[in-house]
Structure 1
Amino acid sequence: MRQGLADGAAQSTALPVEIGFLSSHGHAPEALWQAAIFAQAAGVSPDEFLIREGLVSEDDFYRALAAELGLPFLAIPRLSPEVRYPDSVLAGLAPLAGARPNFVAAPRGPALADLLKTRRLHRLLAITTPTRLREAVFLARSPLIARRAAHNLADKAPHLATDVSYRQIAVLFVVLTLIVFGLGYAPGLSTGILGALMGPLFLSMIVLRIATASLNNPVEPEDHAIRIEDADLPVYTIIAALYREKRVVARFIEAVSRIDYPASKLDIKLVLEADDQETLEALRSIVVPRNVEILIAPPGEPRTKPRALNVALPLARGRYTVIYDAEDVPDPGQLRLAVSRFAEAPPRVACLQARLTIDNTDDTWLTRLFTIEYAALFDVFNPGLAEVGSPIALGGTSNHFRTAVLRKVHGWDAWNVTEDADLGIRLARLGYEVTDLPSSTLEEAPGTLRLWMRQRTRWMKGYVQTAASHTRRPWIMLHQLGIWRFSGALALTWGTVLSALVYPLFTGLYVASWLAGPEQTPELRWTAAFKAYALTLFLSGAASVFIPTCVALQRRRLWRLMPWLPLLPFYYGLVSVAAWRGLWELAIAPFRWNKTSHGLARTSRAGLLQKHQASPAVTRSLKTAPP
């Protein structure tokens, strides 16, 4: 008996100071000793390991700390108006409103060890948990947090912020009206002028699309990355902005829990809006891992995803930060692969774009076409652009960033409704590069035309915002990017918008000019040279759509979708409708965020369980799907 007590005492004295005190507050020294060994193997402080692995609750840990130090524990700290954001949260120390104690602390790691060793200033301190301290800071500095999230980019770099004036919108509408009028009154002349003006831009898009299809960018990495030891892995931040996601939030928590990465090194932040009680209640109804923080964004405008992401960015503790959407199921090895790719890449590589692929392909004809579109974009076009050094319009999720660079470029533009495309162009303008990450994330596509149209209208509206904002001073953009990357940026922004807007007009007039007899349509008589130019543009445009698509279906082993390819011209006609809707919405509600509803999928290529299931059965293949 005495020998057992002696052994326990010996173990207790050998425990790291960050957790050793817990043995005097009801925690078994043997369990603490084992946790210390695992923490050392993971390369994290013992207190972080205990809490983030769920071995000790945050409240129990800090109440025991307060008792050990003989300090008061504050469940609801009342902070001084002088509290600093985000410094107080990151430092774990904030001034209190009363006379004494002067400060409230939620120390972690080295700060915790120092406090326990020295016991300095203990009369001036109270203790609370990191969660309670963060909530108190958010309460005290809500207006400041809301303003920074919405206006930080405009305040720090106004020349890079979204600034689409009503004058620009009016000019754009006047130009489009003249185009439509010209095509109706003098279609031959108008088509010739427009073809001559827009031809170089469209040819740039065609060349880029066909060139990227010729490059070898398989879905899975060809080189096998060396597995990095847990102790050498950096802290990785995951941010997800959620709004009315009660149907999928449990599945998302399960998906990130399956990521092959030490839980004690995952800094997961879910950002909710203040009025989103349904998602908050859904989170309360499930077991949320201890490495997940729930942030409530202070009320403010605009009500957009990038604003919510900006709320979390200042608090990111990871060397790298990845953005996921609520319906995402990333490949479990994605973060480890990203760490190895960042380690190999030069510092100018600021972002890795993972592959997005649709899971609910077989829901409707629309989800099948959406799958084809995403395969061509994320498995062929974007990886090819990265390889040739062109700017990339990022996808809205699975963007892996160097956190320091993301803060340096001032995060996301809260007023741009395609913040991903804007950030991709901004990174290029500031001298950074985006490269491909051959790791897949499963997404849910909207299954009805109404939901699809709302989403695509927002995307096209955002592309107009991005194009107009970055070309306000085109000579500056040209100087920053050089002629080649400048051409690529124009093709990705204005090329995407203009091609969608004029697609049905040009296609209809072109087909009519070849089908109709010259005596019936004298106004559409073209010279042989112009007809040859138009034919070249038309055929190469069709090739730029179908060649990357076929390559993508081969890479994803989705040949069963080949019969749906003839519907692509109709599908891009719908994109054109969305583009015109986007222009109209830009005039009447430029910053409105059309929310995409998730959790409505009926099928799953990867075998995920649907409809309120908290434990999705993720199969071996997030990267590829069976044919």
Structure 2
Amino acid sequence: MRQGLADRAAQSTALPIEIGFLSSHGHAPEVLWQAAVFAQAAGVGADEFLIREGMVSEDEFYRALAVELGLPFVVAPRLPSDVRYPDSVLAGLAPLATARLKFVAAPRGHALVDLLKTRSRRRLLAITTPTRLREAVFRAQSPLIARRAAHDLADKAPHLATDISYGQIAVLFVALTLIVFGLGFAPELSTGIMGILLGPLFLSMIILRIATASLHNPIELNHHTHRIEDADLPVYTIIAALYREKRVVARFLEALSRLDYPASKLDIKLMLEADDRETLEALRSIDVPGNIDILIAPPGEPRTKPRALNVALPLARGRYTVIYDAEDVPDPGQLRLAVSRFAEAPPRVACLQARLTIDNTDDTWLTRLFTVEYAALFDVFNPGLAEIGSPIALGGTSNHFRTAVLRKVHGWDAWNVTEDADLGIRLARLGYEVKDLPSSTLEEAPGTLRLWMRQRTRWMKGYVQTAASHTRRPWVLLRQLGLWRFSGALALTWGAVFSALVYPLFTALYVGSWLVGPEHFPDMRWTAAFNAYALTLFLSGAASVLIPACVALHRRKLWRLLPWILLLPLYYGLVSVAAWRGLWELAIAPFRWNKTSHGLARTSRAGLFQKHQARVEVTKSLNTAPP
């Protein structure tokens, strides 16, 4: 008995000071000593390890700390309106708006050690948890946080921010109207003008697509990268903007739990909107891990994903930051691979784009075509662009950033509804590069035409915003990018927009010019030259769609989808409809965010959705079974 007590006392004295006090508050020294050993192996503070690994709840830890120090524990700190943001949250210290106590602290790491060593009570200090302190700062500085999230880019770099006037929209509509009328009343002249103006743009896109298909970019690395020890891994921030995601939030947290990365070094931030009660209720019904912070964005405009991301960015503690969507299932080794790639890359590489692939491929004909499209984009086109050094229009998720660079470029444009594409072009303008990350993230594609059209309308509207914003001073863009990267940026922005808008019209003209014969175009001169030009552009355009798709399906081993590429002309016809809808929406609701619904998938190539659903059903049956 005495020997056992002596052993416990010896272990207690050997404990790190930041957790040793817990042995006097009901926590077994053996467990604390074990946590200290694991914390040292992971290269984190013992207090961070205990809380983030879920061994001790945050509330329990800081209440015990308050008792140990003989200081009051404050449940809802009242802070003055001039409290510093985000400094107070990151430092874990803020002034109080009370006469009796001056400061409230939620110390961790070195600050916690210093406080336990000095044990000074003369500071008139109170203790709270980091979560309660952050919520108090958000209450006190809600208008400031909302303004920064929405306007920081425009305030600090207005030449890079989305700025589309109604005059620009009107000019675009007038130009498109003139094209339509011109084709109807003066087809020879109109077609010639469009061929001169748009032909080089379309040819640039065609060349880029075919060239990237010829490059070797496998889905996974053939060689194993050196595995970095846990102690040498940096803290990694994960930000996910959630809105009405109650159907998938549990599966998303499960996917994050499978990441091959120390939980104590994951800084996960889930961004919610103030009116999203259903997602918050779903999270409250889950045992949320200690490394997850649930943040509520202050009310404000615009109600967009990039605004929510901007709220979280100032609080990111990681050296690197990755963005995930609520339905994402990233490869477990993705973060480790990203750390290795960043370590090997020069500092100008600011972002790594992981490969997005569709999981619910077999839901409908639309999800099959979506799978083909995503395979061509993320397994062929984007990796190829990265290899040749071209600007890249980022995907909306699985972007891994150097956090310092992301802050330096002022985060995301809250007013652009394709913030990913905009950020990719902005990084290139500021001298940074985006590289490929050969690691997959499973995504859910919309399975119905209505949901697909809403999503694609937003994308096309955002591409117009991005194209117009970054080319309003084309000579500046040319000077920043150089000639060939400037051409690539035009192809990725205006090329994507105009090719979608005129696709049905040009296809009909090109096909019609060969089917009906020259006698039906009596006013057209140079008929042979026109037909040759039309045939060249048509066939090369078709090749630029089909070749990357075939290469991508080969790399993904999805040969069973090869027959579906015959429907790609129909699919891109739907993209054209979405582009025209996007233009209309740009005029009537330029910043409206068409939310994509998730959790509706019926199939899963990886089987993950069915496995999760099975676990949910088993849990429900156990909870409802009679005792």
- TM-score range relative to shorter protein: over 0.9
Report if the CA contact (8 A) 1:78-1:136 is conserved: yes
Decide which moves more: 159-168 or 509-518.
Answer: 509-518
Compute the TM-score of the two structures, normalised by the length of structure 2: 0.97
1:192 matches 2:189? no
Report if the CA contact (8 A) 1:331-1:439 is conserved: yes
The 3-state SS of whatever aligns with 1:435 is strand
Aligned-pair CA distance for 1:6: 1.9
Distance in 1 (alpha carbons) for counterparts of 2:337 and 2:612 = 30
The equivalent of 2:240 in structure 1 is 240
The equivalent of 2:497 in structure 1 is 497
The 3-state SS of whatever aligns with 1:41 is helix
- Identify unmatched segments of 5+ residues in structure 1: 618-627
Aligned-pair CA distance for 1:55: 0.5
Q: Deviations over 1:144-193 (max 9, x none)?
A: 11000000000110000000000000000000000010011122221121
The equivalent of 1:149 in structure 2 is 149
The equivalent of 1:621 in structure 2 is none
The equivalent of 2:623 in structure 1 is none
The equivalent of 2:431 in structure 1 is 431
Task: Give the % identical residues.
Answer: 87
Q: Which runs of 4+ in 1 moved over 4 A?
A: 614-617
Aligned-pair CA distance for 1:612: 7.4
The 3-state SS of whatever aligns with 2:585 is helix
Q: Deviations over 1:359-398 (max 9, x none)?
A: 0000000000000000000000000000000000000000
Structure 1 residues 524 and 607, CA gap change in structure 2 (3 angstroms): farther
The equivalent of 1:177 in structure 2 is 177
The equivalent of 1:167 in structure 2 is 167
Aligned-pair CA distance for 1:530: 2.8
Q: Deviations over 1:595-620 (max 9, x none)?
A: 00000011100002349738599xxx
Report if the CA contact (8 A) 1:191-1:506 is conserved: no
The equivalent of 1:115 in structure 2 is 115
Aligned-pair CA distance for 1:222: 2.4
Distance in 2 (alpha carbons) for counterparts of 1:38 and 1:615 = 30
The equivalent of 1:202 in structure 2 is 202
Aligned-pair CA distance for 1:99: 1.6
The equivalent of 1:623 in structure 2 is none
The equivalent of 2:542 in structure 1 is 542
Report if the CA contact (8 A) 1:188-1:526 is conserved: no
The 3-state SS of whatever aligns with 2:215 is coil
Decide which moves more: 114-123 or 567-576.
Answer: 114-123
Decide which moves more: 69-78 or 121-130.
Answer: 121-130
Aligned-pair CA distance for 1:358: 0.3
The equivalent of 1:583 in structure 2 is 583
The 3-state SS of whatever aligns with 1:303 is coil
The equivalent of 1:594 in structure 2 is 594
Report matched runs for 1:367-446 at 5 Å: 367-446=367-446
Aligned-pair CA distance for 1:121: 5.3
Report if the CA contact (8 A) 1:101-1:124 is conserved: yes
Structure 1 residues 494 and 615, CA gap change in structure 2 (3 angstroms): farther
The 3-state SS of whatever aligns with 1:322 is strand
The 3-state SS of whatever aligns with 1:354 is strand
Query: Amino acid of the residue matched to residue 245 of structure 2?
Result: E
Compute the TM-score of the two structures, normalised by the length of structure 1: 0.97
Aligned-pair CA distance for 1:498: 0.4
Query: Amino acid of the residue matched to residue 585 of structure 1?
Result: E
Distance in 1 (alpha carbons) for counterparts of 2:27 and 2:563 = 64
The equivalent of 1:607 in structure 2 is 607
Report if the CA contact (8 A) 1:254-1:616 is conserved: no
Q: Deviations over 1:82-113 (max 9, x none)?
A: 21110000000000001221000000001000
Report if the CA contact (8 A) 2:79-2:95 is conserved: yes
The equivalent of 2:624 in structure 1 is none
Distance in 1 (alpha carbons) for counterparts of 2:461 and 2:506 = 21
Distance in 1 (alpha carbons) for counterparts of 2:489 and 2:100 = 58
Q: Deviations over 1:318-355 (max 9, x none)?
A: 00000000000000000000000000000000000000
Q: How many residues align?
A: 617
Q: Deviations over 1:431-479 (max 9, x none)?
A: 0000000000000000000000000000000000000000010101111
Report matched runs for 1:470-509 at 5 Å: 470-509=470-509
Report if the CA contact (8 A) 1:247-1:612 is conserved: no
Aligned-pair CA distance for 1:223: 2.8
Query: Amino acid of the residue matched to residue 593 of structure 2?
Result: W
Aligned-pair CA distance for 1:5: 1.6
Structure 1 residues 614 and 70, CA gap change in structure 2 (3 angstroms): farther
The 3-state SS of whatever aligns with 2:609 is coil
Distance in 2 (alpha carbons) for counterparts of 1:122 and 1:601 = 59
Aligned-pair CA distance for 1:123: 3.7
Q: Deviations over 1:246-298 (max 9, x none)?
A: 11011001000110100000000000000000000111111111111100000
- Identify unmatched segments of 5+ residues in structure 2: 618-627
Query: Amino acid of the residue matched to residue 476 of structure 2?
Result: I
Aligned-pair CA distance for 1:522: 1.7
Aligned-pair CA distance for 1:534: 1.9
The 3-state SS of whatever aligns with 1:391 is coil
The 3-state SS of whatever aligns with 1:595 is coil
Aligned-pair CA distance for 1:518: 2.6
The equivalent of 1:68 in structure 2 is 68
The 3-state SS of whatever aligns with 1:522 is coil
Distance in 2 (alpha carbons) for counterparts of 1:534 and 1:450 = 34
Q: Deviations over 1:42-78 (max 9, x none)?
A: 0000000000001111111101100111100001111
Distance in 2 (alpha carbons) for counterparts of 1:39 and 1:321 = 22
The 3-state SS of whatever aligns with 1:246 is coil
Report if the CA contact (8 A) 2:71-2:121 is conserved: no
Query: Amino acid of the residue matched to residue 258 of structure 1?
Result: R
Aligned-pair CA distance for 1:37: 0.3
Report if the CA contact (8 A) 1:302-1:591 is conserved: yes
Report if the CA contact (8 A) 2:518-2:527 is conserved: no
Q: Deviations over 1:205-249 (max 9, x none)?
A: 010000000000000012311110000000000000000001101
Distance in 1 (alpha carbons) for counterparts of 2:517 and 2:101 = 91
Distance in 1 (alpha carbons) for counterparts of 2:221 and 2:233 = 20
